[in-house]
Amino acid sequence: MVVKYFSRYVAAILVLASLGFSFKAYGAERENILVVAVAWKQTAAEYRALYHQGFNIAAQKVRDALAARGQDQKPLAVLTDLDDTLVLPLKYWGSLIAGGQDFFDDALWDAWIPKHEMTPAPGALEFLKFCEANGVEVFYVTNRDQGADTYKLALASIRLLGFPYADEKHLTVQIETSNKETPQQAIAEKYDVVCYLGDNLNDFKRVYYVKDVNERIALMEKDKDLFGDKFILFPNPTDGHWIRAIFGDSEPPANDENRKKFGEAATANKSK
């Protein structure tokens, strides 16, 4: 009996194989290089705790700055990135993985942004409201490009989430460049910036915008005392300029050459 069913099973496999059926879909999913990073973002309490940790540090920085504030001092401000710092695009990454994709997809991203499905990062809204209650202005500086509606969509997004200071004075959206230093310097002329919030070193200083992995690490190490102090960094294992340092492109094409490069990056420090 067992042999009979087993032979039927083998026969069915052969028929499917002869029809060109392939198990590639399953294999592709299993080998998707983004799955672990996205699963962590979607489920890990640790991922969420890192946001609380960052906003707790930022709130303490604000309290310290308020206590130390002199009479003739410029007003206080917090300067922050948006994506993966204050808002999390979890549904975007979930649908990307569900669609079998293993690299950031710009077209999917541009179609997803107008849906306004970003969720606030844990602790973000509380921190922003704490700043507002204490008269500390928050400036949002983000890089986005969804065409003519880019600014309108970004402003609508933070308004829908109930973020304070959701107005044209406080929101800067850069389309043509990812260099945030020009708006950052303009704000720093008028305000004492308590701290900078971001998920990408580029949110703090442009000097980190280099393509060499080791040079990028060395530049960060030179500023190591600033992290958790002036610079509050949030986790992002799926995208950012660390990807650019590996591929030479922040949004590398999904091809086998780049999958191989990712594998090489993952084994850069392998033991013999």
Residue 160 tokens read as 């829908």
3-state secondary structure of 197: strand
Half-sphere exposure for 72 (CA within 13 Å, toward CB): 0
By C-beta, is 28 or 175 nearer to Mg ion? 175
**Could you give the string, one character per residue 177-216, with x where binding to Mg ion holds by CB under 5 A and - elsewhere?**
----------------------x-----------------
**Residues 244 and 261: beta-carbon distance below 8 Å:** no
Binding piece for Mg ion, criterion CB under 5 A, among 82-90, 151-159, 178-186, 208-216:
82-90
| In the complex, minimum distance from the CB of residue 238 to Mg ion, in angstroms, rounded to a whole number | 11
Could you say which DSSP state residue 88 is in?
E
| In the complex, minimum distance from the CB of residue 198 to Mg ion, in angstroms, rounded to a whole number | 6
By C-beta, is 65 or 127 nearer to Mg ion? 127
By C-beta, is 65 or 88 nearer to Mg ion? 88
Write out the binding residues for Mg ion, residues 83-142 only, by CB under 5 A: 83-84
Q: Which position has the token pair 């492109």?
A: 249
User: Cα(83)–Cα(111) distance, rounded to whole angstroms?
Assistant: 16
Relative orientation angle of helices 35-43 and 45-68, to the nearest 10 degrees: 60
| In the complex, minimum distance from the CB of residue 148 to Mg ion, in angstroms, rounded to a whole number | 22
User: Cα(95)–Cα(132) distance, rounded to whole angstroms?
Assistant: 35
- State which amino acid sits at residue 123: G
User: Cα(73)–Cα(69) distance, rounded to whole angstroms?
Assistant: 7
Q: Give the number of residues in contact with Mg ion, rule: CB under 5 A.
A: 4
By C-beta, is 66 or 175 nearer to Mg ion? 175
Binding piece for Mg ion, criterion CB under 5 A, among 23-31, 73-81, 104-112, 147-155:
73-81
User: Cα(64)–Cα(56) distance, rounded to whole angstroms?
Assistant: 12
Binding status of residue 239 toward Mg ion by CB under 5 A:
no
Dihedral of CA atoms 218, 219, 223, 228 in degrees, nearest 10, equals -90
By C-beta, is 55 or 65 nearer to Mg ion? 55
| Nearest residue (beta carbon) to Mg ion | 83
| In the complex, minimum distance from the CB of residue 51 to Mg ion, in angstroms, rounded to a whole number | 13
| In the complex, minimum distance from the CB of residue 217 to Mg ion, in angstroms, rounded to a whole number | 19
The residue within the footprint of Mg ion, chosen from 47, 77, 78, 81 (CB under 5 A), is: 81
By C-beta, is 32 or 200 nearer to Mg ion? 200
Q: Which position has the token pair 């922003």?
A: 128
Q: How many other C-beta atoms can be found within 10 angstroms of the C-beta atom of residue 107?
A: 7
By DSSP bridging, strand 231-233 and strand 76-80 are unpaired
| In the complex, minimum distance from the CB of residue 161 to Mg ion, in angstroms, rounded to a whole number | 15
| In the complex, minimum distance from the CB of residue 200 to Mg ion, in angstroms, rounded to a whole number | 5
By C-beta, is 134 or 182 nearer to Mg ion? 182
Instruction: Enumerate binding residues for Mg ion (CB under 5 A).
Output: 81, 83-84, 199
